[in-house]
Amino acid sequence: MENFIENYFIVIILELIKYCLVAVPLFFFYYIRYRKDFVANKIQSENISVKDIKKEIYNSTVVFSIISLLNCLILYTPLVNYTLIYRDISDYSIIWLLLSIPAGLLIHDTYFYWMHRLLHHKKLFRRAHIIHHQSTNPTPFASYSFHYLEAIVEGLIIPLLLFIIPLHPNAVYSFVVFSFIINVYGHLGYEIAPKWFRSSFLFNVLNTSTYHNLHHSHGYGNYGLYFRFWDKILGTENPEYIRLYDEIQDRRFIKNNQEYNQKYLLIRNKQLPQYIQMAIQKEYHQNTPTLSEFISDLENLLPTTSMPKDKLDKIRHYLATEEKDYHTFQSLMDLLFSVQRIPENEDLILLRNQLKF
C-alpha cells in the first residue's frame, strides 16, 4: 500500500510538471509577452479574465489527481497482470513500438468522439460537461478543466488502451505527452498552424486550434479530439470552420503583419483616433491624395469588428464606391465612430484637417 501511495504522488507530480512545461509557457508567450505581436492569430477577440484562468487551473489540479489515481490503479496493482503492457521492446519489435502511438491516438479519438457526444446530452451536459464549456474562450489552462465525473470518463482511456493493444511503457509516456500537447493546442485560443498546412492533405484530416475553439464558442459540433473524420462522416462538423480558419490565416500572412497587428489592436480596443493617426502619418505625410491603404485596412478588418449587420453593409457600400474621395473617407469615419461610440472631438477634427486633397 505504501508503494502505491508513493507511486500515486510521483505520477501527480509528473502530471503537474507536464502541465507547467506545456500550458504555462504557451500562455505566457501568447497572452502576456508577445500578445501584441500575435493579435492576428487570436481566434476570439474577447479578453480573458483572471477569474476564468484561476478556475481553469483549479479544475485542472482536481483532474490531475483523478486521472493519476485511475492510471495507478491499473499500473501499480495486480490488475497490471491482466493488461497487454510489456517491458521488452523485442517482444513486438521497434516498428510496433512506433506504430502503437498513432494507433493509440486513433482509438482515443474514436473513444473521445462518442464520449464527447454523449456528454452533450442535455442531462449529462448540465450535470458535468458544462464545467468545461464555461471556458467559452479557452486558454491553454482549459485543456484539463473538467468536472470530476468527466475526468473519470476521460481518464479511462489509458486503462482501456492497456487492455486492448500491447503497449510498451515508452509508448504510454509518448502517447500521454503527445495527447496533452495536442489538447493544449486545441485550447490555445490562437491559430498557429503553418501556411502550408491549408493546402496539404493534412488539413482535411487533422484538427486545429480554430476547429476546437469553434466548439467552445458555439457549444456544439466539432466533437473530435485529433481528427476530423468522425465529424465529417456523421455531419457534426461546424460549417463555419473553413471560412473562419481561412479568415484567420489571411490576417496572419498578409504583408506587414506586425503593422497589421498594431492596427487591429487599436480597432479592437476602440482606439480609432490612434488608428487614423497612424494611417495619416504613413499614407498622407507626403500629401499623397489616396485612400488606398485606409480602405485596404478596413476591408481586412471588417470581419473582426463587432458591428451590427446593417452598419457593416453600409460600410461595405462605401468601400464599393468607385471614386473613394474625401467624402467617402469622412463618411466612413463618421460611421465607424458612431458605431464604436467615440464622440466627436477636437482631435478628430484636427485629424481630418491634416488630410490634403
Backbone angles phi, psi at 325, to 5 degrees: -95, -170
**Per-residue DSSP letter, 168:** -
Q: Residue 345: pLDDT band by 50, 70, 90 thresholds?
A: very low
3-state secondary structure of 206: strand
Alpha carbons within 13 angstroms on the beta-carbon side of residue 159 total 18
Residues 6+ apart with CB under 8 A from 163: 82, 83, 84
The answer to whether 104 and 161 have CB atoms below 8 angstroms apart is: yes
CA distance linking residue 212 with residue 199, whole number of Å? 20
> How many CB atoms are located within 10 Å of the residue 347 CB?
12
Q: Which of 275, 276, 341, 340 is nearest to 305 (CA)?
A: 340
Backbone angles phi, psi at 206, to 5 degrees: -95, 150
CA distance linking residue 355 with residue 357, whole number of Å? 6
CA distance linking residue 35 with residue 51, whole number of Å? 19
Grid cell of 161 as nine digits: 488502451
pLDDT tens by residue, 129-145: 989 998 888 999 999 99
Grid cell of 147 as nine digits: 468536472
Q: Which amino acid is at 299?
A: E
Q: Where are the domains of the chain?
A: 2-194, 256-353
Whether the per-residue pLDDT at 78 is higher than 80: the answer is: yes
CA distance linking residue 311 with residue 107, whole number of Å? 48
Chain position carrying cell 510489456: 86
More confident residue, 150 or 316: 150
3-state secondary structure of 107: helix
pLDDT tens by residue, 185-213: 999 999 999 989 998 999 999 999 999 99
Mean pLDDT of 242-270: 67
Q: Which of 220, 212, 218, 222 is nearest to 190 (CA)?
A: 212
Q: Residue 352: pLDDT band by 50, 70, 90 thresholds?
A: very low
Q: Which amino acid is at 260?
A: Y
Residue 55, exposed/middle/buried by CB under 10 A (0-12, 13-18, 19+)?
middle
Backbone angles phi, psi at 321, to 5 degrees: -60, 130
Grid cell of 3 as nine digits: 508503494
pLDDT tens by residue, 296-316: 555 555 555 555 566 656 666
CA distance linking residue 168 with residue 248, whole number of Å? 40
Name the H helices within 156-199.
Answer: 157-164, 169-186
Whether the per-residue pLDDT at 91 is higher than 80: the answer is: yes
3-state secondary structure of 85: strand
CA distances from 162 to 28, 66, 158 (A): 35, 18, 6
* 118-122: long-range pairs with CB below 8 Å, 24+: 119/150, 119/153, 120/220, 120/223
The pTM (predicted TM-score) of the whole model is 0.72
Grid cell of 58 as nine digits: 483549479
3-state secondary structure of 167: strand
% of the chain with per-residue pLDDT over 90 = 47
The answer to whether 151 and 67 have CB atoms below 8 angstroms apart is: yes
- pLDDT of the residue at 278: 56
**Per-residue DSSP letter, 189:** S
- The β-bridge partners of 85 are 167
Q: Residue 267: pLDDT band by 50, 70, 90 thresholds?
A: low
Backbone angles phi, psi at 80, to 5 degrees: -60, -25
